[in-house]
Structure 1
Amino acid sequence: MKVTQVLKKYSENVDVEIEESLKTIDPSSLGEASAHLTKAGGKKMRPALVVLCCESVGGKKEDAFKTAAAVELIHTFSLIHDDIMDKDDMRRGKPSVHAIWGEPMAILAGDTIFSKAFESMLETNIENVQPQRIMRAMSAAVDACIKLCEGQALDIGFEGKLDVKEEEYLNMIYKKTAALISAATKAGALIGGGTDEQIDALAEYGRLIGMAFQIQDDYLDVVSDAAEIGKPVGSDIVKGKMTLMVVHTLSKASDEDKERLIYILNQNDESLVDDAIALFEKYGAIEYTRNIALEDVKTAKELLNVLDDSDAKTALELFADFVIERTH
């Protein structure tokens, strides 16, 4: 079994739920803008995790499709708004929503999708799932949405700030990336009828693979082939972005090397990428980053011991490995 097969297996059901949810939006221009990114592909990792966690605790996958669709809609809303803030005109190889419909309509599309997510969760069949569990799953999603916004605000606040501590950076990526993945795994366990021990373990599993996912992105930015990651190597360096490698290097570097790295980050110059990578290597930042991701995944897999053996559990183990084995 491959992760890509698992993703394909569940994405069709989730796509149907999303299409049903968005087809009633009026006017049609808002409907088209809202549906644009949902039709542009994407890994659909988060909704697959909802369904797998539901199944892993003995639940029926059909009961989790509404919540899985909701999680994907929340993720999509965040991408639409991110693209507006970052002024990115492309997403998943297609023009971003604001590039086609303009910023006002894109903001409305994001807001509509956000609302539709919770409508979808409320439509979960209460004959199969206790209403209390649906409410707890919604609470997890709401908390993740708040953290997502907090994480984005922290990320914006880091721009031009070169004294970010590792703890601050890890808190930012937890809120911006890992919180929603943790909510996905927790919600799936809730919908599936898991025990408190299983719910807590799967929520932490989601947090850890979410952290590893973002840290792996930092890592891939400097070790991958441009064709594999779909963007120039070192693009984070060129943008002057705060990554774990930058934070680690700045905390360990001599005054001269620190000054050099800060200079590079402020130049927006692709020709200086190799110089930055050389500094990362000098202070062991690349290996350090990779090791944190590996440790997070190792711990995440150990948490799955609360589950009985099943295909879903095996798939969750594969997911954890996929996070650090992927090349883009």
Structure 2
Amino acid sequence: MDAFGHVGDPGPRDGFEGRRGMGAHPGAGPDASDPRGGPERLRFAFHLVDGADEYGLVFSFARLCGAVDGGAEAHQAVWYVADRSAREHGGESWVDQGCVDAVRALVGADRVTDPRVRRALLDALSQGRLPEPDRLLPRAARWREAPLDLDAGDVVLLRGDGHGGLLVEARGEESGFRLRLSPPGDGGHPREHVGAARASTDADPGAASPEAPVLEAASLEAAGVLHFRGRSARVTGRGWHERAFGEDLLPARDGRDASWSRARVRLDNGWELAVHRTGGADAPDGTPAACGATAVLASPDGERVEAPATLRGLRPWTSLTTLNTYPTACDVEVPLLDLRLRTTAWFPRQEAVSVTALSGRLEAHADAEGTMGGRPVRGHGLWEVFPDTRIEDFERHVTRIRAVTRQEIDRLYPAEPDARSLAELAGTEHRPERLDGAVLEDLHASLVGPVRHTTAGLGRSWRSYVSMAAIELFGVDSEPYRPLVAAAELLHTGSLIIDDVEDRSPLRRGRPAAHVVFGEAVAVNAGTAAYFALDRVLNRVLPDDAALRLRVYQVYLRVLRAGHGGQAIDIAGHRAAMDEAVETGDAEALLRRVRSGHWLKTAAPVRGLAEIGALVAGAREEQFRALGEYFDAVGLAYQISDDVMDLRGLTAPAEGGGRSATKHTAEDLRAGKVTMPLAHAVALLPPRRARELWYSVRDGDADEATVAAAAASLEECGAVAACTGEAQGLVERTWKPLRDLVPCTWTSVMMGALGAYAARRERE
């Protein structure tokens, strides 16, 4: 604290004054206040070195006046560190109660976000728990001007040093820093760059927004100490500071696309560059789109140039924490200056997660390389992406993991014969020379072909999501275990391939079933072989922990046993039990039987995948039990709601947007299959009507009118409502015990929403 004793007027601020941009008010340096009031943000970004080690640091302070009823202010202090050599990224976010109240008010008034997600987030906030990594400041924040004096609850302090520079200290629970910031000592000129709302529009690239925030920026040098992941580094470096007024501090929730991206680079020829675009972001799957943008450049002698530019995102990476997909590189072109530049993140995982973003954003320290005026240039910078964080449809949101799942499946089941992969698949990785070219071709055709055919039409991939979310739920980074998503999906795929043979189903997900294309013998063999994908994956993600692998195998083998038991019940069917139920009017035995089948085929695998994630994360025994009970309920609720959705026609998010049908309306009813609505109807309909309804569809040859009438009767008698009530009760009873045992994080919020989705998958 001694470095933060009271200081007087810091004196001249020549190094901070900057060049005033469009709409800037006089004296908009770091010590000036915005005469208009409103949102305000101070932000700093640095490239730091300690010998050969490189670090990136971004930190900011924000306040929002009158954020909540009564005019109270909201404050946030946040920092993130990137360690290049260790490829590690992390930080802390600290907010005050005013910020929490502002987020709660925003979420409460939100009518765009899926209600299941909105309710889950409000539930977390109402419990007085703030989703990590956000933490509540221990004391009130103080923000004073002239001279600048910021105190974020004694966690972060920023003051003038009396000599034209700044002193900043962050004292977090897991990281921090202590830096002296000063104007460049090389006579460099302060730089200005584009602010968030001053970016180009699709209609007029290069045009500034009429509602632009006032923004000033300046170059700075830094020296001090950085603490991160148990290590301390004495660092020096260079970066920039910006101060923005009028910029939205919380994302819009009025249906607008609030996404934006920005690259800011310092080149080795002395030029500085900032390129910004709003909207027009890359597709959710990361497909790049070249979009009009605004570029602001500063020459070595301080001349400012603003010009139209194009910006294209590249190398998409999907966060397993938020399921946001970010381009981790970008190509920038500024024709006016003959500038072509590629900026590439040091490593993909540089996501900053905060409740104030209602998800996350990419703040990636990056290298740049390209040409300017035909000459090679290099540099360092920051590549930022704020995606469209609206979750209007929870199911579509979860389906974002499908791209990750497909990538991981491709690694295990490549499109072309690969000797190493096929040796693993055939269990000969210790003697790969035993497989010659012709054998490899046969293995690929018979073991890989049917699986790739089936996974070409991936469904929702929500089981893959569960496998990763169960790790994240306990505060553990799931990134090192990414291959597990393939094992989860291949378990499901193998069972589908075999089920289609046993059920004589000609179609799967709108495509010919694998046995139709490859033959029954090949399909059964390939489907069975897919069950062993987990063995290949565990050798990669848990190579040195035999005890943990054993526990995972035990859970997985239990899942396989349950799945085969469920299929046995499915093959036997429930017709005889339904016959007896409608004759006696007693549905209890029938309901138990149908629930048993659903539990064995759907709930047990979902529970097992979640338990594997919990084992990997090192969950305590009471956490492990609570998680198992919850995902038991989620799996059973999902299958019950699947039965309900069958009556209405089942759809799923389509690859190119929109939705596509995966089942015809009342397909199970048409086939004479006993589902939960039929079983519940026995006790809800008059006995005679229950018998008539059942026998009208029992033999699987009813016409459209008969099936439609039966479906309507199930809705009208309350059978559908009974199913929905049962499913909701299952997840509600088991969620609270788990919620109270795990950290409050973005993942735990989404797990609450997952249960609500499983119980009530609303008709699209």
TM normalised by structure 2 equals 0.40
Higher helix share: 1
Unaligned stretches of 5+ residues in structure 2: 1-388, 415-420, 423-439, 581-588, 652-658
| Structure 1 residues 253-300: Cα deviation after superposition (integer angstroms, max 9, x where no partner) | 444223212311224212212332344245421211111112123234
* TM alignment of 1:41-120, pairs within 5 A: 41-120=458-537
Q: 1:320 and 1:252 mapped to 2: Cα distance?
A: 27
- What residue number does 1:313 align with? 748
- Secondary structure in structure 2 of the residue aligned to 1:165: helix
Q: How big is the shift at 1:321? A: 2.4
Letter in 2 for 1:214: Q
Q: 2:762 and 2:548 mapped to 1: Cα distance?
A: 33
Unaligned stretches of 5+ residues in structure 1: none
Root mean square deviation of aligned Cα: 2.3
> Structure 1 residues 304 and 131 mapped into 2: Cα distance closer, same or farther (>3 Å)?
farther
State the identity %.
24
Q: 2:664 and 2:479 mapped to 1: Cα distance?
A: 41
Q: 1:166 and 1:225 mapped to 2: Cα distance?
A: 23
Q: Does 1:258 align with 2:690?
A: yes
Q: Which moved more, 1:224-233 or 1:100-109?
A: 224-233
Q: How big is the shift at 1:87? A: 1.7
Aligned pair partner of 1:272 in 706, 714, 717: 706
Letter in 2 for 1:79: L
Letter in 2 for 1:89: P
| Structure 1 residues 202-239: Cα deviation after superposition (integer angstroms, max 9, x where no partner) | 11121111111111011112245888754332221111
Q: How big is the shift at 1:151? A: 0.7
Q: Which moved more, 1:278-287 or 1:268-277?
A: 278-287
- What residue number does 2:663 align with? 231
Q: Does 1:33 align with 2:450?
A: yes
- How many residue pairs match? The answer is 325
* TM alignment of 1:237-248, pairs within 5 A: 237-248=669-680
Q: How big is the shift at 1:177? A: 0.8
Q: How big is the shift at 1:96? A: 1.4
Q: Does 1:5 align with 2:441?
A: no
Q: Does 1:289 align with 2:704?
A: no
> Structure 1 residues 84 and 224 mapped into 2: Cα distance closer, same or farther (>3 Å)?
closer
Q: Which moved more, 1:65-74 or 1:145-154?
A: 65-74
Q: Point out which structure has higher relative CO (alpha carbons under 8 A, 6+ apart).
A: 1
Q: 1:317 and 1:57 mapped to 2: Cα distance?
A: 14
- Secondary structure in structure 2 of the residue aligned to 1:308: coil
- Secondary structure in structure 2 of the residue aligned to 1:240: coil
Q: Kindly indicate whether the alpha-carbon contact (under 8 Å) linking 1:68 and 1:184 is maintained by their aligned counterparts in 2.
A: no
* TM alignment of 1:181-220, pairs within 5 A: 181-220=606-645
Letter in 2 for 1:266: R
> Structure 1 residues 194 and 21 mapped into 2: Cα distance closer, same or farther (>3 Å)?
same
Aligned pair partner of 2:565 in 139, 150, 171: 150
> Structure 1 residues 298 and 224 mapped into 2: Cα distance closer, same or farther (>3 Å)?
farther
Q: Which moved more, 1:13-22 or 1:53-62?
A: 13-22
Q: 1:148 and 1:225 mapped to 2: Cα distance?
A: 23
> Structure 1 residues 228 and 113 mapped into 2: Cα distance closer, same or farther (>3 Å)?
closer
Q: 1:277 and 1:144 mapped to 2: Cα distance?
A: 33
Q: How big is the shift at 1:310? A: 1.1
Q: Kindly indicate whether the alpha-carbon contact (under 8 Å) linking 1:77 and 1:110 is maintained by their aligned counterparts in 2.
A: yes
Q: 1:241 and 1:305 mapped to 2: Cα distance?
A: 39
Letter in 1 for 2:410: E
Higher strand share: 2
- What residue number does 1:160 align with? 575
Q: Does 1:177 align with 2:575?
A: no
Q: 1:248 and 1:5 mapped to 2: Cα distance?
A: 32
Q: How big is the shift at 1:185? A: 1.0
- What residue number does 2:761 align with? 325
Q: 2:712 and 2:398 mapped to 1: Cα distance?
A: 38
Q: How big is the shift at 1:53? A: 0.9
Q: Which moved more, 1:11-20 or 1:313-322?
A: 11-20
Q: 1:90 and 1:7 mapped to 2: Cα distance?
A: 22
Q: 1:319 and 1:172 mapped to 2: Cα distance?
A: 22
- Secondary structure in structure 1 of the residue aligned to 2:575: coil
Q: Kindly indicate whether the alpha-carbon contact (under 8 Å) linking 1:58 and 1:193 is maintained by their aligned counterparts in 2.
A: no
Q: 2:687 and 2:633 mapped to 1: Cα distance?
A: 34
Q: Kindly indicate whether the alpha-carbon contact (under 8 Å) linking 2:647 and 2:711 is maintained by their aligned counterparts in 1.
A: yes
Q: How big is the shift at 1:98? A: 1.0
Q: 2:639 and 2:556 mapped to 1: Cα distance?
A: 19
Letter in 2 for 1:44: S
Q: How big is the shift at 1:101? A: 0.8
Q: 2:532 and 2:664 mapped to 1: Cα distance?
A: 36
Q: 1:223 and 1:92 mapped to 2: Cα distance?
A: 17
Letter in 1 for 2:408: E
Letter in 1 for 2:755: A
Q: How big is the shift at 1:307? A: 0.9
Q: Kindly indicate whether the alpha-carbon contact (under 8 Å) linking 1:209 and 1:300 is maintained by their aligned counterparts in 2.
A: no
Q: Kindly indicate whether the alpha-carbon contact (under 8 Å) linking 2:468 and 2:613 is maintained by their aligned counterparts in 1.
A: yes
Letter in 1 for 2:413: L
Q: How big is the shift at 1:132? A: 2.3
Higher Rg of the two aligned structures: 2
Q: 1:79 and 1:317 mapped to 2: Cα distance?
A: 28
Q: Kindly indicate whether the alpha-carbon contact (under 8 Å) linking 1:64 and 1:192 is maintained by their aligned counterparts in 2.
A: no
| Structure 1 residues 106-163: Cα deviation after superposition (integer angstroms, max 9, x where no partner) | 1111022112233323432345xx4323322221111111111111111221253223
Q: Which moved more, 1:209-218 or 1:192-201?
A: 192-201
